[in-house]
Amino acid sequence: GAFFNIVMARATRPGCYSGRVRRTRWLGPYRLLYRIASGGMAEIYRAVITTPDGTPHDVAIKRLLPRYNEDEEFITMLADEARITAELSHPNIAQVYEFGVVDGQHVLAMEFLDAVDLRSLLRRCREREQPISPTLAVFIVEQALRGLHYAHTRVGPDGQPMNVVHRDFSPSNLLVSFDGQVKLIDFGIAKARLNRSHTRGGIIKGKVKYMSPEQTLGRRLDARSDVFAAGVVLYYAVTGQLPFFAPSDAELMVAIREQDPDPPSRQHPLLDPAFDALLLRALRKEPEARYPGAADFADALHAWLASRDPGCGADRLGRLVSRIFARERMEAELQAGECGFDDDPEPTPSQAARHYTRLVDPGHFTGSRLAPDPRADVEAWLATRRHEDEDDSDDFWTADAATHELPRREDATNPHGSASQTHGGADETTTRRAR
């Protein structure tokens, strides 16, 4: 596994910030500009750090809430996860810079992204009755799969495989930027949180709608579980519906293991049998029947895309995001320009050092990963999001919660809506305690 929420801000809509920082202006070497959002686990801030060469850089700072700062075992595990994620440097993975503690507060420094998540993009397209094109959806998932493959095959500093599995691949964990980049976020939050000492055995964590069959059973996962989740995301993106239907989450777990999804071409006229075949392979029940790795699935999607729409790529994606989120982006840039504190002097390096201890520092602030950005004159905007659950931090699934019998197909309903309906929670976190 890897670390948690890289860009975890959860606000009511993109560009809707929580306001300026009014009390805490500095966290060690980080100058906080404004709070982006507050969730069940942490507060998120936009911040600036000045590297040794004097260059200021925007970063996102996640500050853990007090109840997590008091859990020593949890903090230790998070630090271990931070070390893993900090080793993942790939164009399709949002970067973690360092993890540290200042005045007893644990903070994580992350890449500050000018992007929206796929969940918001799909919802906005649906609200405008302009569903995203299948080829653009294929491009997005293909790019994310490249990041997954890198994580799956990454070798650690000791020369041993890191065996990273995302475990929570979903639309809310895929960011699409205003210049058409695709970034995978939120590595390992489920695993990090599940490994606390008081957690019972047989617990499953994740968004049920995107779980693989083996994940619903609490089995050990490998890269092929992420391949299945990527197939579910792509199916949803191109059809507006999820591939498995059931009236409750517990029954949905059984449906994932037992139902056969309809070919996506039945839902969209621009899809063909060749696309059906490549997507349905990712959704096979047995891991051995799926693509052996994320790169294999990505290659299949790339070949299909090249034969149908070779011009589809980052430029087109960037234009789409810029067009449909133009107002929110303008609001965010205006608010960013209003932030700052003239009355709060910057601490000297020695003052900052007295209050800040780096727990995980892969050397990213030596300039290797914070080199001057040619787009630094453009105000960065971190699109914020949140799950519809107020706080799912303590909600878990037990393995025996999925022992319910699957209702007859004719009795099962699809609670997720259709392509013509507003995207109403098909990708929200659906972790519940088994009743």
Cβ pair 37, 18 in contact under 8 A? yes
Q: d(Cα 435, Cα 423) in Å, to the nearest integer? A: 27
What is the separation of C-alpha 404 from the centre of its chain, rounded to a whole number of angstroms? Answer: 30
Helix axes 223-239, 118-127, angle to 10 degrees: 10
Query: Could you tell me which of 76, 101, 93, 95 has the C-alpha nearest to residue 364?
Result: 95
409-420 b/e (C-beta count within 10 Å ≥ 16 → b)? eeebeeebbebe
The span from the CA of 393 to the CA of 386, in Å, is: 13
Contacting residues for 190 by C-beta, under 8 A, at least 6 apart: 1, 167, 168, 205, 206
Which of 197, 199, 196, 223 minimizes the C-alpha distance to 212? 223
CA distance 185 to 334: 26
Residue 16: both structure tokens together: 């809707």
Q: Buried b vs exposed e over 19-57: b needs ≥16 C-beta within 10 Å?
A: eebeeebbbbbbbbbbbbbbbbbbbbbbbbbbbeeeeeb
Active site positions, annotated: 168
